[in-house]
Amino acid sequence: MDGNKEAKIGRRGRAAVVVLGDIGRSPRMQYHALSLALQAGFEVDIVAYGGSDPHSAVLENQSIHIHKMTQWPTIPRSLPKILRPLMLLLKPLIQFLMLLWFLCVKIPAPDVFIVQNPPSVPTLVAVKWASWLRHAVFIIDWHNFGYTLLALSLGRSSLFVALYRWFEKHYGKMANGSLCVTRAMQHELQQNWGIKATVLYDQPPEFFRPASLEEKHELFCRIHSHLNQPYGSQDCISNGIIAVGSLDLNETLFTHRVSNDIILKQNRPALIVSSTSWTPDEDFSILLEAAVMYDRRVAAFLNEDDSTGDEFVWKEISDGKQFVYPRLLFIITGKGPEKEKYEEKIRKLHLKRVAFRTMWLSAEDYPLLLGSADLGVCLHTSSSGLDLPMKVVDMFGCGLPVCAVSYSCIEELVKVEKNGLLFSSSSELADELLMLFKGFPNECNALKSLRNGALEMGSSARWAIEWEENAKPLISRVVSGSSK
Ligand SMILES: *[C@@H]1O[C@H](CO)[C@@H](O)[C@H](O)[C@H]1NC(C)=O
Ligand SMILES: *[C@@H]1O[C@H](CO)[C@@H](O)[C@H](O)[C@H]1NC(C)=O
């Protein structure tokens, strides 16, 4: 080590981050790029597809250079069936050539390539070749297994799936280092693939944090007109909203500005956020059914004389005690193929106490929404049973408790009754909603205690620390091994 400055990693001082996907929708690879630049002093080249904008922290960092590849066009439906298999073979071939061109020619030679898996074909072989041609090392960041994702659409017994698995294992073993997202995956890689990987948990970066009252109010002003648009006719949200489109509102659905103070309204709806990529592996109908059940069960509590004097609050009297239930507003964020199908279903529900809105928020507004909500719902089930939903990590970063679908390794993340709850059916989710929002907003102790658990978890664990402790030592070891 020379001088008191931290030793530079690698002789070129460059790293390349490779994703065969939309960089704007690959947060973990964006965080890698930020950490490589800020914590390891690398110049970073990102090679990926465009589509959505990455976080402004990535765009504004002078040491991060984004190189966007042209996307392979979707196969037109009108294409004769006979030509389809040909296209399926042609696609990875073209992707492979495109990747090689970018990795070997377009970007300056790096010390290390860090590549996201999946997709494995043709990414792993392209990065392997590039690392050989450019005298660099390569590290695979295992987010999941590509072959299990493929098996979702083709079935476990498909020959393609077996081929894909062979490829993934063969090239996976050639990497000079490996990172993965759970202990369960680390174990699988070690036992069945002969790959020694370091666990790097997803952790929220700094911008996922609870929102201040001011930030909440401003966010609700920005999305005000959107909240005002119901699916189908009026619903319990659009009914109660003040119909002005101005950005300089003093009153939103949730907040009220009185001179310089902002207060949360007593009869505000409970705000529940779920983000989804609207793909077949997330069964969104669980959430819709739970919403219908909440609506019906609250209706069933009501007696003739238990009007609360507020058309948006409902009262249950049991054992001589009174409990109120709020309206629920579900905001569903995300883009994806099945969105319209579900929007059509939502339109037909006709609920009195529950409303849905779908939106796509900017990378800056999304953390604010999480930081302003009362509960997060996660419908992620893993194709391999070995990865964890990053959206839940983000929710905890914002101090948001979570109800998540239960599966094998989810408890590495969600600690039941500490920072969240698990469910396996829509009925269970409906029970949890009733239990958590009974007495909302002031007398819901179960929700408050989960919230404290989430806040605690969110404030102790951060991406930069996790990266410093687990990824940086691995990268520096692998890179320095190559310069000897
Ligand atoms: C908001 O309140 C301020 C005073 O507190 C008032 O001057 C302003 O006109 C109000 N804006 C709207 C849109 O009502
Ligand atoms: C990286 O892996 C390749 C293939 O396994 C190997 O040939 C090369 O020596 C490794 N480099 C380092 C620095 O370990």
Domain annotation for the chain: domains and CATH numbers? 3-203+463-482 (3.40.50.2000), 213-460 (3.40.50.2000)
Nearest atom, ligand 2, residue 174 CA: 5
Measured by CA distance, the residue closest to atom 2 of ligand 1 is 250
Render 360-392 in DSSP notation, one character per residue. ---TTHHHHHHHH-SEEEE----SSS----HHH
Summarize pLDDT for 397-409 with one digit per residue, the tens. 999 999 999 998 9
For residues 320-333, average pLDDT? 90
Ligand with smallest separation from the Cα of 10 = 2
Summarize pLDDT for 65-112 with one digit per residue, the tens. 999 998 877 666 677 777 777 877 888 899 999 999 999 999 999 999
Summarize pLDDT for 247-270 with one digit per residue, the tens. 557 888 899 888 889 999 988 999
The answer, yes or no, to whether residue 244 has pLDDT greater than 60, is no
Output the CA 176–ligand 2 centroid distance in Å: 6
Instruction: Mention every residue, 6+ apart, whose C-beta is less than 8 A from residue 57.
Output: 34, 205, 207
Ligand with smallest separation from the Cα of 174 = 2
Measured by CA distance, the residue closest to atom 12 of ligand 2 is 482
Measured by CA distance, the residue closest to atom 5 of ligand 1 is 259
Nearest atom, ligand 2, residue 484 CA: 13
The answer, yes or no, to whether residue 369 has pLDDT greater than 80, is yes
Determine the residue of 250, 255, 263 to mutate for testing ligand 1's pocket, defined as the one with the most ligand atoms within 8 A of the Cβ atom.
Answer: 250
**What are residue 131's phi and psi, to 5 degrees?**
-70, -30
Q: How far is CA 103 from the centre of its chain?
A: 27
To which residue do tokens 């819901």 refer?
A: 444
User: Considering only 170-184, 196-210, 215-229, 293-307, which range has the smallest mean pLDDT?
Assistant: 293-307
Distance CA 273, CA 293 (A): 18
Output the CA 422–ligand 2 centroid distance in Å: 43
Average pLDDT, the chain: 89
Task: Give the residues across from 179 on adjacent strands.
Answer: 141, 198
What is the side-by-side order of every strand in the sheet holding 354-359?
Answer: 354-359, 328-333, 270-275, 375-378, 402-405, 420-423
Tokens of 83: 């030509």
